Structure formats: structure tokens, C-alpha cells
């Protein structure tokens, strides 16, 4: 490198010091990037993955789409979900006589439509959850999704064991559902949003 | 027997005026230095926050103004302990020596037209001499802690401080040549009210060299190797807790104020300025320079130790010597 080039390089390096000062000086007078909680809150939370919640049925917002297949319970790597199905009423003898199976009378194979199962209890231990989303992906009916709850605080661990059915009922009563909840009436349709 | 007022009044008149001045100044400094340290620590954190586009301290008091008070209370409340094997006397002596010269350093500084405690002909020399005690305290702190990283941190700190004192002195000497005095008040008197009448116009290189050396002397970024080591491995003050560390901390901010005050007095017109009384201008300029030092801290990455010493021996020393020779030549020939 010639002397002139070396000098130019040195001057460029000294100039970079001034440029650095200009950069930080501009930052000093620019508005802050920090969202200063609790005085300010983040406004666009649609992409936020908060604790998991149940998705309501389009026809009955207080009920979840859940069919108690237990796939989420077995798929969860942290074992934080526990689901108890509602006990099904046993078919009475009267009912069987009043409605003979017409297909069998014809001799065809009976196409039994199983009674839809509903969850009686759906407990979610957020203290174990790692927000991996396996339960959300695994659910065949799209009954689980990430909520947008970012501002969580509680005094003890018990505050973070959620009763998801109670939460859903509360959301239905308050009318705070999402726009995509009013979708197809079919139970096994994962909705227009096509999963999470 | 009635109290003999006349005897005691006569005795009071016998006390030398300089003694009364110094005592009064020391009392005022006992308020000024900690109050300034409080404000400066808060300002540092706020400036750091805003440069990084975040709020800085906000919760303790409105906008966090009581944060430093809380920090000071925390430091005072911590246990003072000496690690096993550390030198009994030197360990605490280092902490005390860090803060001891600070009061002396403030005495020759002209805060205003009459607000100079020691209007002596060797004011600048007094400041430079007592600034060397800080180097000794770093050395003792690193040695007495019985910790190999403290020792290495202290050795680097001492090398840095000793190296950067030379261009500092030479830069100030150039101005002393021009003004013919080491008396800070006289140097200030030789400047005018307006920026084009200040010494920085006739000695810009000396000002730049002095400022870089001042930042290095006070162990501030980008020359904060002795402090940064505590983030990486350890630093000279790592074994100190509570008020022991507080002494080093306070002395760093007090030294910052001293070097800025000297820069303002020698290069930036001291207390001279239009309209407002002198001491307001002085404090305003000192705080301006302190904000620039803080700006440097949050802009530049830390220099490596070899880069640090290269900068000094290969660039600042020749520059300051050349500046001195040129000044002498211009003074004598022109």
C-alpha cells in the first residue's frame, strides 16, 4: 500500500469515529423502542404464542371442539394436559326396542355413528408447558390454539394451572371470541384458518 | 467570670485567611462531590438508556431520580470483608487512597471569578501530582487482593495511567507556554467570553490530545480495561464489596469531574461567558464535557491493551511533543 493510500485509510478510520458519534447521537434523540409496560402495552399480538386455550364450536361458543381423542395428552412432551371425558349415557333397553336397527333388519352391515364425546374436565398446567405447539398441531379437530395472553403474573404456581373449560365458558359469556371462530359447523373442520 | 469576647475575636483574626478558605472549601466540597456523583451516576444510566433507545432507571422515584440514592444505601449496607490472604493494611489503604486525593484536586480549580480556593502559581502541577496517587491506589488494590486476576488488571491499569499521563502533561504544557503560567485562574483570565477567544482555537491539537488522555486516565470507555476486566475475568477492585467498591466508584466520578474542570479551565474559557454569572458557565461547560465522555462510552468499543499503548506511544506522544515544539517555536520566533 502506498503512503497516500495508507494516509487515506487512516483518515477514513478517524472519520469513522465521528460517524459513530453521529449514530449514537441520533439514537439519543430518537423515540424509544422499548414498550414501557405497564404504561404502554404491545398492540399487535396476533402472532404471539401465549398459553394454550380451547377453540369454541361455531354453533355453541361455550363448548370446545374437543372430541376427547386424548392425542394432545399423549403428544405433549411435558405432560401438562389432562382431559377427562363426560360419561356417556348407556343405551336403555327401551330405546333399543323402540328403534330397531333397520340396516341389520335388512341384513346390511350397520354403520354405527358413535356418540360424540365431550370433555368434562380439561386441565392445563402452564408451569410445565414449553409452548412447543405439539398439542396444537396434533389436535385433529383444531380444538387447541395459542392464546395472546402476554401479561401474566401470579403469586404462586397454583395460579398457573388453568381450567380451560372454565376459561372458554368465561370467554363465551364475555363475548370475546376471534373472528375465525364463526366458521363451518362441522366438528372435524379445522376452520378457515387451517390450523395455527 | 464573663466570657472574654475580645480575646477570642482577636484570636480569630490571627487565623490565616488561606486556612479559613481551605476549610470552607473542603466543607463545600463534602457536599459538592457526593451530590455530583449522585447526579452523574443517574445521568450516566439515563444517557446509556436513551442512547440504547430504552428508558433507563424509571421506577425508583419519578423517572428514577432516586435510583442512585437507593444504590448508595445498598453499597453502604453491604458487609465489608477482606478475603483470606489479602494484605491487612494495604487492602483498606488502597480504597482510602482512591478517594483521598480527590479533595486536594478540587482546590486549585476556578469555579468562578472569586471561587478559587487555592490561587497558587502551581495549581496545574498540584492537580497533576495528586492525580498520580490514584495510580498508586490501583496498584495497591490489585496487589493486596491476593488474586492473580486483580494483579493483572491492576498492572494493566497502572501501565495505562502512567503511559497516558505524559501526553496529558505535554498538552497542558503547551498552553502553559503560551500563557506563561501554571496558575489556572490566570489561564482562565487570559481567555475571553466567546468561543473564538478560548484557548481551544489556538491549541486544538492540545485539546484533543488532552481529552483523549483524560478519558484514559479516568479509566473510562473506550479505555476501561481495568474496569472491564471485571466483566471478563476480574479487575483490580473485584475483591471489594460495599463501601470499599463505593470508594473506587466515587473516586472515578470525582476524577472525571476534575479532568473536565481542568479541560474547561485551560481550553474552553473556564468560567468566562456572556450574560450569566461565571460559575453557571463553568458548571455548564463541565457538564457538557461530562456528557461527551458518556457519549464516548456508549459509542466506542473497548480498545485492546496493545492498541491502547500503541495509541499512546506512537500517536499521542509524538503529536503532543510536536505540538509543544511548534508552540515554543511560534512563541519565540513569531
Total domains present in chain B: 1
- Tens-place pLDDT, residues B18-56: 888 899 999 999 999 999 999 999 999 999 999 999 999
Instruction: Let me know if residue A5 belongs to a domain.
Output: no
Nearest residue of B to residue A31 by CA position? B53
CB < 8 Å to A31, chain B: 53
Q: Under an 8 A CB cutoff, do B50 and A28 touch?
A: yes
B321 part of a folded domain: yes
Asked whether residue B1 is domain-assigned, the answer is: no
- Give the number of A-B residue pairs with CB atoms closer than 8 Å: 33
Position B42 in a domain: no
Q: Three-class SS of residue B218?
A: coil
Question: C-alpha grid cell for residue A141?
Answer: 379437530
Nearest chain B residue to A21 by CA distance is B299
Q: How close, in Å, is residue B49 to chain A by CA atoms?
A: 8
For the segment B168-181, the average pLDDT, to the nearest whole number, is: 92
Among A93-102, A169-178, B10-19, B31-40, top mean pLDDT goes to B31-40
Give me the domain span that covers residue A143.
Answer: 48-87+115-196
**Is B16 inside any structural domain?**
no
For residue A79, is it within any domain? yes
In angstroms, what CA-CA distances link B166 with A123, B216, B317? 72, 12, 7
Point out the residue among B51, B55, B300 whose CB comes nearest to the CB of A36. B55
Q: Count of CB atoms within 10 A of residue B119's CB? A: 16
Q: With 80 as the cut, is the pLDDT of residue B209 above it?
A: yes
Asked if the structure places residue B5 within a domain, the reply is no
- Residue B3 maps to a domain: no
Q: Which residues are CB-neighbours of B91 under 8 A, at least 6 positions away?
A: B82, B141, B144, B145, B239
Out of B55, B58, B299, name the one closest to residue A24 (CB). B299
C-alpha cell at A29: 434523540
A22 part of a folded domain: no
C-alpha B175: how far from its chain's center? 19
Asked if residue A175 is part of any domain, the answer here is yes
- What DSSP string describes B92-103? HHHHHHHHHHHH
ipTM more than 0.90?
no
Judge: B295–A36 Cβ closer than 8 Å, yes or no: no
Residue with the larger pLDDT of the pair A101 and B198: B198
For residue B300, which residues of chain A lie inside 8 Å, CB to CB?
Answer: 17, 20
Q: Three-state SS across A90-112?
A: CCCHHHHHHCCCHHHHHCCCCCC
Q: Given CB atoms, is B52 within the 8 Å cutoff of chain A? A: yes
Calpha distance A45→B190 (Å, rounded) = 64
Q: Do B299 and A31 touch (CB under 8 A)?
A: no
The CA–CA distances, whole Å, from A75 to A134, A150, B12, B288 equal: 7, 25, 91, 62
Q: Is A96 part of a structural domain of the chain?
A: no
The answer to whether position A38 is within a domain reads no
A52 within some domain: yes
Tell me: the pLDDT tens digits for B275-330?
Answer: 888 889 999 999 999 999 999 999 998 888 899 999 999 999 999 999 999 999 99
Average pLDDT, chain B: 89
CB-based contact, B13 to chain A, within 8 Å: no
Q: Report yes or no: B269 and B191 within 8 Å, Cβ to Cβ.
A: yes
What is the residue whose three cell numbers read 464535557? Answer: B289
Q: How far is CA B70 from CA B54, B65, B141, B238, in A?
A: 21, 10, 26, 21
Cis peptide bond N-terminal to B222, omega within 30 = yes
The domain tally of chain A equals 1
A26 domain-assigned: no
DSSP B315: I
CATH number at residue A182: 3.30.70.3270
The reply to whether residue A31 touches residue B300, judged by beta carbons under 8 angstroms, is no
pTM, two decimals, is 0.80
Q: The domain containing residue B304 runs over which residues?
A: 78-333
CA distance from start to end of chain A: 59
Amino acid at each position: 500500500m502506498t503512503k497516500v493510500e495508507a494516509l487515506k485509510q487512516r483518515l477514513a478510520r478517524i472519520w469513522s469515529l465521528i460517524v459513530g458519534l453521529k449514530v449514537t447521537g441520533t439514537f439519543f434523540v430518537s423515540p424509544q423502542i422499548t414498550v414501557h409496560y405497564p404504561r404502554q402495552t404491545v398492540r399487535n399480538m396476533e402472532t404471539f404464542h401465549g398459553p394454550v386455550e380451547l377453540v369454541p364450536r361455531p354453533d355453541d361458543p361455550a363448548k370446545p371442539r374437543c372430541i376427547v381423542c386424548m392425542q394432545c395428552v399423549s403428544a405433549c412432551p411435558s405432560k401438562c394436559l389432562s382431559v377427562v371425558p363426560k360419561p356417556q349415557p348407556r343405551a336403555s333397553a327401551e330405546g333399543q326396542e323402540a328403534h330397531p336397527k333397520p340396516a341389520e333388519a335388512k341384513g346390511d352391515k350397520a354403520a354405527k355413528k358413535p356418540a360424540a364425546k365431550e370433555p368434562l374436565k380439561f386441565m392445563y398446567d402452564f408451569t410445565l408447558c414449553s409452548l412447543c405447539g405439539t398439542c396444537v398441531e396434533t389436535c385433529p379437530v383444531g380444538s387447541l390454539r395459542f392464546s395472546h395472553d402476554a401479561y401474566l403474573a401470579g403469586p404462586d404456581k397454583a395460579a398457573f394451572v388453568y381450567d380451560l373449560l372454565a376459561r372458554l365458558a368465561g370467554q363465551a359469556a364475555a363475548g370475546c371470541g376471534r373472528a375465525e371462530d364463526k366458521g363451518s359447523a362441522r366438528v372435524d373442520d379445522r376452520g378457515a384458518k387451517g390450523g395455527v | 467570670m464573663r466570657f472574654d469576647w475580645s480575646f477570642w475575636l482577636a484570636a480569630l483574626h490571627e487565623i490565616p485567611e488561606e486556612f479559613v478558605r481551605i476549610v470552607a472549601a473542603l466543607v463545600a466540597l463534602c457536599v459538592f462531590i457526593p451530590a455530583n456523583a449522585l447526579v452523574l451516576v443517574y445521568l450516566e444510566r439515563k444517557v446509556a438508556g436513551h442512547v440504547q433507545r430504552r428508558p433507563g432507571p424509571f421506577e425508583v422515584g419519578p423517572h428514577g431520580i432516586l435510583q442512585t440514592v437507593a444504590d448508595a444505601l445498598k453499597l453502604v449496607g453491604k458487609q465489608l470483608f477482606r478475603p483470606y490472604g489479602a494484605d491487612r493494611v494495604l487492602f483498606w489503604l488502597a480504597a482510602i487512597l482512591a478517594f483521598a486525593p480527590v479533595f486536594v484536586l478540587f482546590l486549585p480549580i476556578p469555579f468562578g471569578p472569586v471561587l478559587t480556593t487555592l490561587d497558587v502559581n502551581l495549581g496545574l502541577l498540584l492537580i497533576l501530582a495528586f492525580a498520580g496517587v490514584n495510580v498508586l491506589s490501583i496498584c495497591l488494590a490489585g496487589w493486596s487482593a491476593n488474586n492473580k486476576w486483580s494483579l493483572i488488571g491492576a498492572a494493566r491499569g497502572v501501565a495505562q495511567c502512567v503511559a497516558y499521563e505524559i501526553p496529558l502533561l505535554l498538552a497542558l504544557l503547551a498552553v502553559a507556554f503560551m500563557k506563561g503560567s501554571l496558575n489556572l485562574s490566570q489561564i482562565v483570565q487570559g481567555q475571553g467570553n466567546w468561543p473564538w477567544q478560548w484557548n481551544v482555537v489556538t491549541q486544538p491539537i492540545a485539546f484533543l490530545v488532552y481529552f483523549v488522555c483524560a478519558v484514559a486516565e479516568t479509566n473510562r470507555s473506550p479505555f476501561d480495561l481495568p474496569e472491564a476486566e471485571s466483566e471478563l475475568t476480574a479487575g483490580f477492585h473485584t475483591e471489594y464489596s460495599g463501601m470499599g467498591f463505593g470508594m473506587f466508584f466515587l473516586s472515578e466520578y470525582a476524577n472525571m469531574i476534575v479532568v473536565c474542570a481542568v479541560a474547561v479551565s485551560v481550553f474552553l474559557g473556564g468560567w468566562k461567558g456572556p450574560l450569566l454569572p461565571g460559575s453557571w458557565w463553568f458548571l455548564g461547560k463541565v457538564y457538557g464535557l461530562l456528557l461527551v465522555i458518556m457519549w464516548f462510552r456508549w459509542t466506542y468499543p473497548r480498545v485492546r491493551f496493545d492498541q491502547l499503548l500503541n495509541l499512546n506511544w506512537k500517536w499521542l506522544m509524538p503529536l503532543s511533543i510536536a505540538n509543544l515544539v511548534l508552540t515554543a517555536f511560534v512563541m519565540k520566533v513569531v
